[in-house]
Structures are given as C-alpha cells and as structure tokens.
Chains A and B, each alone.
Chain A
C-alpha cells in the first residue's frame, strides 16, 4: 500500500525543476504504446490515441506492469467514487500528519463552519445530537445555577422582607432601581474568595495560584494536584459522571468552586456565602485566561514562566468578597428575637385584653347588683370602657368599685344621672342619712317597709314624721309607730305649765313649744302680771331648758288695771279698791293731790279698759284748797303787777327783756340792758312789787337806739366846747367847730358804729385850723431866720423878726388852747452845701438851738419848741450849680432856721 500513492503522486506532480521532460506527454506516449500493443485498451479509455498494434505490444512489454498500475490508478483517479474512497482511506492519516502544520486550523476553519452550517440547515438535530452530551450538562448546569440563584434570592427576600433592615433595603432597592434581591445580596452575602487555583487539567499541575492576604493554605502545588486527584477519584468511582467534574464542594464555611475550561481548571476557595453570580465571574475569568493564553495553556508542561498575567486575572478573582460578616448571626438573632417578641407581645396583649374584658364584665355585674344603681348602657368606646345609667346619690360610687375590680380607673368613663331609688335599701340609707337617728333608734327593713324601733326625742320623731310624709309615691312606707317618745313626760309637764300660765291674768301665751328637750313659750305679759319663770319652779321644769319671751302689754282686764293702779298711784290706806263687775271702784278719803292723780290715771286709761269710779273718795283737802285758792288769787294779782312792770321795762329804750317769770311769789326778769339805759330795778318803785322778790339779770349791750348812740358818742368823743350833738331822724348831727384831729376822730368813731345804729354826721363841724389858728400858723411858718456862713448865731438885724415870731407863737398857743388843741413848733436848722456834711449837720442843729434860746428869752414856752438839724439836706434852693452870683445867693438863702407847726388834741 505504501508504494502505490508514492508513484501516483510522483506521476501527477507537476514538474519542478526536473528538466524539460514533459511527463504528461511521456505518459501519453506510454499509453499510446500500450494501446498500440493491446488494441482492446483503446476501447476502454478515452483520450487514447488508436495507433499501431506493435506500438501497443511494445508498450505492453515495456511498461505493461506500469500500464496496469497506471490504468488502475487512472481508473481510480477518474472514478470519483473510488478516488474518494482511496483518499478517504488516507485522509485521516494525512490530516493527522497535517495537524502539525499550523495552517491546517486556518484552512479547515471555513470548511468546518460551512460544514456545520450546512448540517444545521439540513437537519439541526444532527448537530444537536452530536453536541447533546456537552450541551445538556452545560444547560443543566446553567439552569441549575440559575435556579439556585433564584432560590437564593427568594430565600433572601423572604428572610429579609419582614425585618426592619429588609424594609430599609426595599427602600434602597426602590430608590436605586435595583432588584430587591440584589440589594439583599449586596448587604448580606458575606464571602471572600480566599484562593484561586488555575490547574492544568491534563497534568494536574498548578499553573497559577493567588491567595487572599489572610488565607492559610498548604503548598498550592500539592493542593492543586490533590484536587485533581480527588476529581478523578470521584469521577471514576461513580458512574454517570464520566464527562463531568466536581464543580462545587462544600465544607462548612468553605466552598470549592471549580470551573472547567478546555485546558485549565479554575478552582476558587470561597469562605462564606458567595452569590451564584460568582460562577459567571469565574467562567468569565477562565475564558479570558484561555483566550489570552490559549497556547500557553495548551502546551503547559509545568513551567509557569511568563504566566504572570494569568496570576493577575486570578488576583482579580481573589479580590472579590464581601465583608459584612459579623452581623449575620446577630441579625438572625435579632430577627428571631424581634419576631418572638412580637409574638409574645401579641399574645400578651391578647391575654391582657381578654382579662380586661373579664374584669369589666365582673365589675358590671357587681355594679348592677348594687342597690340604687341602674345600668343603662355599658360598652367600649374610643378605647375606654363606658358605663352609664342612673345612680342614687346615696348608692355606692361606681368608681369606688373599680379599684376592687382591678380595673384602671383612667380607662373607665362613668356617667350616672342622679335619681332617687325607691328600693327599701336605698330608702333606708337615705333615711339614715337624713334623719341621723340617735343610737336608741334602729331602722330595719321588714318586708317592703322600713320600720323604726326604739326611743327617740320628740324633735327627732317630728323630723322623722315629716320625712316619712315626704317620701315619694312608690317608696316603702316608713313606720315610726315603734318609736317611743322620750320626751313625753316632759311634754306633759310642760303643757300643764303652759296651761297654768295661760290662766294667769295679764299673761297671754301666743306660742309654746317643746323641742329637743328645750321649751319655749312666748306671748304678751303685762308687767304687773306674775313672772312666768316663777311658775316654772312649781311645774318641776328646769328653768335652764326654758326660754320665755314675753312682750310687755297693758292688760285691760280689771285685775291688771287694778294692779297698775295700785302700783302707780300707791293709794293711801284710807282708800280701798275693789273690782265690781267690769269696773274698779275706789272708796275712802284721800288728799286732793292723790285724787287728782287718780283722776288723771282714770282719764288715761285706754279704751276698753274697765271704768274707774272715784266718786266714793272724799277730798280731805278742801279747806286747804280754799286757802290755796286765795293764795292763788293773790298770786294772780302779783302776776298782773309784774306783768305790767315787765311791759314798762320792755318799753324802755336800751332795755330788752328776753324772759320774765313769776312763780311762787318770786319774779325773775332777764334780758339785755344798755349801760346807759335806766336801771330796771329803779322802775320797780311804785309797782308794789317787793324788789327782794325780784331777780333781774341783764346782760349789757349796746343799744342802737339813737338816744343811746348819742349819749355814747358824747361820752366817748368828749366834744370840745361849742360842739353839739343832735338827733335828726335816724342821724346824729354834730354842729360847732373843733380841731381837725377831733373831727377825724369823730369821723372814725362814726364809721365804727355798728350796723343798725344811726349814722354820725360831722359834716357841719368847722375845722378850727382853717380859721385864725390856721392863719397864724401859716404866718409863722413862712418866716425864717438867716445865718452867715459857718455861724450858729443869727445874722444881724433879725431881732425884730424874732420878736414878732415870739409874739405870734404865744398868740397861737393861746388860741389853740382855747380850742383844746396843743401846738407843737419844730425849729429846723439848715446849712449850705459848703463844707463837710457832718459839720454842716452839727452847725444846723446849733443854729436851731440858738433860735430856740432866743425865743425862750422872749417868753415863748420852750417846751413847745422842738429842735432839729437838717444839715445841707433840705436846701431851699440849689446852691451847687449855676453862676457864682446865683449860688452865693442860694447859699445865703439856705443858711436858715425854718419853722413848722402842728396841732394836737388836748390830752
């Protein structure tokens, strides 16, 4: 077999530098030769040129064998089937040989694709069937993983949907738009890829290994080999797993996940709970590694040189992990705890609620059983228990019962309208409360009535009676018959006493009362009647317990009137009084006075009183009375005389009588008397009245009668000679002449007269100063004595002046004295302005003195002359300015003594 293809090959091969021999032509030639040698050959094949027989034979001889072969080969080649069969036989080997050539892959790739395509198009099932053993496990695995993943999600979702964290994560999921499970996984999955082994499948040798920082492992090479060995062991031990590998091993917290690739196995050692997606990640990593280092992996023989990038890929894998570990356990505990707490809470709440209901119902029952309480409505509202109805105020307080029932009062609302219960027990309570029976009384319920037993004071009995009457219709009756009145004896005694009291004359009993052991009686009592309290003693009633209140009144029964009569008139022993029918009759003898009193008394008796008969009483005092009568007449005459005297007195001016009295022979008169008026007592003469019997009391006053005013004025003014006062109508007019001081005094007095007094008119009085006196005065005052400068003695030639002055002065004095006026002359010395003021002053004084002395010498009374110095202060003319001539004249004029005269009234 080996020989034939070689030759054929050689034959068919196109010449390649083998000379110019055209092998094809040669072959054709040889075929021709063969055909020419064997003509039958010509018929069998095409393209064989029919030629010479001999040539044929030659051909057959020479290359018969080869021709056979060639013919066979040609037949083979020409026959596609056989050629295909032949090629088909050697094709596998050829391809096996050709596999070494890299080009083979590339060349075959399109062919493979087309082949697959056509196969699928023809019948997809074929390819599917072929791929089925690989696809199915892959699919199954994928589905399994997906389902696992799904379960994991559901598991997580369920686990966390009811927790607080779960809700938070739901919120996060909604917010970020990621599926809830993903968020859950993100938060909960705790895993770390501790190791990543890339193991060569064929040899089990470790291609690359990366471990996490805190991971502990043995020699990775040994580990990887052992992993592979285990895989092999499992696969070999259990049927049905021939084409599969272990893809997941779990040992507690550790998981070994392995992903098989064409040449390498990626094994990840994961601690914790990795998401199913990690498979995908591993597959991706593995396929990337394969894609990147396909050939290196394919031809790996233990040399890890140059596979650093693989390690990098693995490192990526190892970097995966989630660390939130510590919480899982705690979270579970918390979840469980909270759930159980919730459950407990629910149970507890249910139990509590049920218990509350029970308590409530028990309470309602008890409440309803209470007398005086009617329950209308009971239930629950707004979380509170509500009970409403009617409650007798004396019944138990519903709220008080709450405490016993063990219900929290704050959760209960009670609403009870008051009503008056009419059941015996309530009524009993009420009676007890209102009546407050003493300890000697007991109230009991007998049948449907309340019966009181025992003993009680009257007051209580009365009250109880009143209350019993006021019980409303339908209430049980209140029987007091069984209660003995403790106060009965007392009452009887009291009644007896009151009756007796009533019987007393002069006592009217309006009200008597016995209550609470105290008695009171009131009414009217004539003061002369018997004292009610005295009677008490006889009645054997303790006065302390009795109150009496008697208004005084005048009893009009004869007895009382008689008493009164006796009390007020105190009849003498000679008089006897008796009651006759409805009259009081007096007999006997008594003094007039007494009789009078009695009569008066009788007269004063009010209407309705018994009549008073005094006719039977003789008057003892008759003679006496007559005497008295005379005396009285005398007295009357006296009275008359007195009266006329008093009238005369009244008529007197200046006397005002305010009171006059005549009594018992004595007379008194009092009033006001102007001191200038006549003396009242003086008027008594001739009246026949004994002055000794008269008491006159007159207060002084100023009468305003003109007469008196005149007299007074005259007395006080003391008018000078020639001045007269006269009354003209209602005025007092003064005539005559007087000095002006007198006139002014008179005027003042006139003004000071009181209102009502006549007016004083002094207008007719002449002032003497205006007469001769005035003239003289003026003459003297016009004079002056002159002096030389610096001299205190008058200048020469003035003696005559001085004489004249002297005689005028004397005349003046005489004249004034006749007019009852005193003359005063003042000599004033002056100086001119030359010289010092002080020296001028003394100079002026000296000048005045000198003049005085000179006048005295001339016979003027020096007492009349007063001296004063005015210095230069009262110049006649201004001598300080002007021409020297003028000033000299002025100065000369200023050096003088001047006179001034004044009049005064004679003291």
Chain B
C-alpha cells in the first residue's frame, strides 16, 4: 500500500482573484459556497498521486479580502503550504498576494507555496509582464500563470506543492 498523507494547503489571495474557481476546477467539493461567505473558509480536498505516495491536499479556501485581515491568519495556522493567487489582470492583487506572503512568513515561518497568476486566459487584460514574472521567480518562488477556466497551470501547481509539502 502506498502511503496516504494529508497536508493543509491554504488558498490565499485578494478579492475575486479566482481562488474558488481554481479550487472548483480541480477538487472534490463537499461544502458549498455558502460556507465561504458565512464562515470565511471552505475546505476542499485535492488528491495528488505521487509515485511513492498519495497526498491529500486539504485546501482551505479562504474568503477573499482586500484588506489584510487577522482573521485569515488563524486559518493559515498549521498549513503545510499555501497557494497564492493573484489576478493577472489586476496588478494590485499581486501586491496583496505578496504582502500576504510576507505576513505568513512572519507568522508561521517560511512555508512552501506557489504563486499563481490567474486568469491567464484573459490575454487582452493581462497586466503582468514577463519581466515581473522573472523577477518573482528570481526569489526562488514557484510562479505560474494559470487559468481556472482552461485549467492551465493548476495541476502542476498542486503537484508541486504536494511534492514539496509531503516529500
């Protein structure tokens, strides 16, 4: 039997960057959107099958806020990793994402994460240039454009996280 491991992964990001859509795209969704709006979090699970093990990524999809809110930080507690999502068409969300990252790192130490620049399918409105991308990558971060609609980049992102958290 291959080992089964659970890891808590948080979806962090600004308002309406597509966190939920991403999750919806690829997970076995049990709880409805209502939880997101009432409790502030919606838990989902994504199973990633690695060669030597199966990793259950418990995705904590947090309600998006533009204002940095301490509420969210408690939700991040215990996370093995997180997914930062920014809306590629709105550069402000990238800033939000980055500041979130800092906060997380400050509170919980460095955790594996991936940065997804979502809504890559909206090429016309794409506002993040390649240079920025490179810059981000230089930090040693795993940055990837993604699209919940097309599914671009999502699988890889989760896979990467799975490897990095469970491996």
Contact = CB atoms under 8 A, between A and B. Distances in A.
Interface of A: 200-206, 218-219, 221-223, 225-226, 229-230, 232-233, 235-236, 301-305
Interface string B62-75: 00000000110011
A806 to B, nearest CB: 180
A298 to B, nearest CB: 13
A221 B45 contact: yes
Given A203-B78, A229-B40, A232-B77, 16 more contacts: A203-B79, A204-B58, A206-B6, A218-B30, A221-B6, A221-B45, A229-B60, A229-B75, A230-B39, A232-B41, A233-B40, A236-B71, A302-B7, A302-B8, A303-B3, A303-B5
B150 to A, nearest CB: 26
Contact of B43 (A203, A222, A305): A222
A303 B7 CA distance: 8
Contacts of B71: 233, 236
Contacts of A200: 78
A208 to B, nearest CB: 11
Given A222-B30, A302-B166, A205 B43 contact: no
Given A205-B6, A232-B75, A302-B7, A222 B44 contact: yes
A225 B74 contact: no
Contacts of B70: 236
B10 to A, nearest CB: 10
Contacts of B75: 229, 232
A302 B45 contact: no
Nearest to A200: B78
Contacts of A225: 8, 43, 58, 60
Nearest to A306: B3
A-B interface, 10 closest residue pairs, ranked by CB to CB distance from nearest: A203-B78, A202-B78, A302-B6, A225-B43, A229-B41, A303-B5, A302-B7, A203-B8, A232-B74, A205-B6
Contacts of B166: 302-303
Nearest to A225: B43
B31 interface: yes
A229 B43 contact: yes
A232 B79 CA distance: 14
Interface of B: 3-8, 28, 30-31, 35, 39-41, 43-45, 56, 58, 60, 70-71, 74-75, 77-80, 165-166
Contacts of A233: 39-41, 71
Contacts of A302: 5-8, 56, 80, 165-166
Contacts of B56: 221, 302
Given A219-B30, A222-B30, A229-B43, A202 B77 contact: yes
B61 to A, nearest CB: 10
Contacts of A201: 78
A230 B56 CA distance: 21
A475 B99 CA distance: 129
Contacts of B80: 203, 301-302
B78 A222 contact: no
- Best-surrounded residue of B45, B56, B70 (most CB of chain A within 10 A): B56
Contacts of A203: 8, 77-80
Contacts of A221: 6, 45, 56, 58
B5 to A, nearest CB: 5
Nearest to B27: A222
A221 B31 CA distance: 12
Most buried by A among B5, B31, B41, B58: B58
B58 A229 contact: no
Contact of A226 (B31, B74, B77): B31
Nearest to B74: A232
Nearest to A301: B80
B107 to A, nearest CB: 13
Instruction: Name the residue in A206, A219, A223 with the highest tally of chain B Cβ atoms < 10 Å from its Cβ.
Output: A219
Contacts of B35: 226
Contact of A229 (B4, B6, B28, B39): B39
9 contacts: A201-B78, A202-B78, A203-B78, A204-B60, A205-B7, A206-B6, A218-B30, A221-B58, A303-B6
A221 B58 CA distance: 7
Interface centre among A205, A223, A302 (most CB of B within 10 A): A302
B28 A236 contact: no
Contacts of A304: 4-6
B8 A204 contact: yes
Nearest to B43: A225
B5 A222 contact: no
Contacts of A301: 5, 7, 80
Contacts of B7: 205, 301-302
Q: Which of B3, B31, B70 gathers the greatest number of chain A CB atoms within 10 Å?
A: B31
B80 to A, nearest CB: 6
A902 to B, nearest CB: 167
B6 A222 contact: no
A232 B40 CA distance: 10
B44 to A, nearest CB: 7
Contacts of A223: 30
Q: Could you say which of B40, B78, B165 has the most chain A C-beta atoms within 10 Å of its C-beta?
A: B78
Contacts of A202: 77-78
B144 to A, nearest CB: 23
A809 to B, nearest CB: 177
A236 B6 contact: no
A202 B165 CA distance: 16
A206 B43 CA distance: 13
A203 B81 CA distance: 11
A357 B68 CA distance: 86
B39 A219 contact: no
Contacts of B45: 219, 221-222
A206 B79 CA distance: 13
A200 B43 CA distance: 15
B158 to A, nearest CB: 15
Contacts of B77: 202-204, 232
B76 to A, nearest CB: 10
A498 to B, nearest CB: 135
A233 B7 CA distance: 21
Nearest to A226: B43
A236 B77 CA distance: 13
A203 B3 CA distance: 19
B113 to A, nearest CB: 15
Contacts of A232: 41, 74-75, 77
Contacts of B44: 222
Contacts of A222: 30-31, 43-45, 58
Nearest to B165: A302
A376 to B, nearest CB: 87
A29 to B, nearest CB: 50
Nearest to A227: B43
A817 to B, nearest CB: 180
A449 B56 CA distance: 122
Nearest to A234: B39
A53 B6 CA distance: 75
Q: Which interface residue of A202, A203, A235 has the most chain B CB atoms within 10 A?
A: A203
B30 A205 contact: no
A305 B3 contact: yes
Contacts of A218: 30
A236 B3 CA distance: 35
A245 to B, nearest CB: 12
Contacts of B8: 203-205, 225, 302
A225 B58 CA distance: 8
A200, A236, A305 interface centre (most CB from chain B within 10 Å): A236
B152 to A, nearest CB: 26
A218 B31 CA distance: 9
B79 to A, nearest CB: 7
A78 to B, nearest CB: 41
Contact of A219 (B28, B41, B74): B28
A137 to B, nearest CB: 19
A305 B6 CA distance: 11
Contacts of A206: 6
Nearest to B8: A203
The residue in A200, A218, A233 that gathers the most chain B C-beta atoms within 10 A of its C-beta is A233
